[in-house]
Amino acid sequence: MNHVTVVICNYNYEHYLAEAIDSALAQDYPGTEVMVIDDGSTDGSRAIIETYGTRISAIFKKNGGQVSAYNYAIAVLETEYAIFLDSDDVLYPSAVSEVMRLFADGAWAKVQFQLDVMDSVGRSIGAYVPHSEPPHDCGKLLRGGWLYPSPPASGNAYRVSGLRRVFPVPEEGINRYGADFYAIYGAALTGPIATVPKALGGYRVHNADSETVSFANSEQLNKAPRAFNLRWEILRNIARARLQIELPPAFHDFSHEKATFCSSVYQATLLSRWRWMMRDSRGYLHTIVANPFWSVKKKLGTLALSGLCLFPYSPLSDFAVRYISNPLARRRVAGR
């Protein structure tokens, strides 16, 4: 039997950590191992981790950021397969069994699965991510500049030998975080991707009530676009040096463009909204119109919602931004 390690990288998430560890230990796949890497937490995380004793492999390291924790884990893993579970998320009991069934049937570099979106207290909101299923050859899409639809970190199982062709990655500055970017897209450059078309875990969204703009748990609005551009450039350098793959200078991704769109037009004046839409929306509109993963219906719907930002009535514009960016806002509208 192939063994799998569920790696939980934690930093100051004592309120959610036990739930994440318990979900990893509750897997019905007999060959599941659990590794918890605490990245220098200053809360009560260490005491929680120590209560599990030998049921888990516990590593306590100096704080270095999420990328540092991934680098460390990938270097020391002894299994060929791994799931990187965020310490505020959970896996359902059959998650490992489901992904290992697919790994057994093909030479997949990554198996991804949907995640149910939860609010901050762990209640399912009726949404899930991602909404689109990519083709197996996501590497071809990346070589054309398109970031493929992927769940967040916790919805991915990897072949570790593939990850080691990409990691370690630089840990400095703004690149302390976003390690899952390199795992998700780097893995696709090393082999094909398989998808389990159902939710096998829960993804927690913090502070995402329906009256605020939320990009799930990503960086603040003014940091997200800059961080994505930096990560793409680093991935390009890694792909060129280690994989002999040339990626284009620019990439296309609706999630990234959505962050720019929302930060530019949310609660902005009518003049500022029109100016951005007329001058700066080319990349945003391109990731809608040319999106290789979306249906025509979804493209038209997103374009129509985006167009509401040109109306003089600012509450309507802000509603459109919240609806596009925030799954909780969508749930409230659907329930009316």
Average pLDDT over residues 259-284: 94
Q: Is 154 exposed, middle or buried (0-12, 13-18, 19+ CB in 10 A)?
A: buried
Q: So what's the pLDDT on residue 322?
A: 86
Query: Which tokens hold the place of 239?
Result: 């792909």
Q: What is the number of other CB atoms lying within 10 angstroms of the CB of residue 119? A: 17
The lowest-confidence range among 209-218, 236-245, 299-308, 322-331 is: 209-218
Note the CATH number of domain 4-243.
Answer: 3.90.550.10
Domain boundaries, the chain: 4-243, 254-335
Give percent above pLDDT 70 in the chain: 91
Helix axes 314-325, 254-265, angle to 10 degrees: 150
Full-model pTM: 0.89
| Region label for 178, one of left (φ > 0), alpha (ψ between -120 and 50) or beta (otherwise) | left
d(CA 141, CA 135): 9
Q: Is a pLDDT exceeding 70 seen at residue 163?
A: yes
Spatial CB neighbours of 297, under 8 Å, sequence gap ≥ 6: none
d(CA 63, CA 118): 27
Q: β-strands 124-129, 156-159: how paired?
A: unpaired
Q: Is a pLDDT exceeding 60 seen at residue 330?
A: no
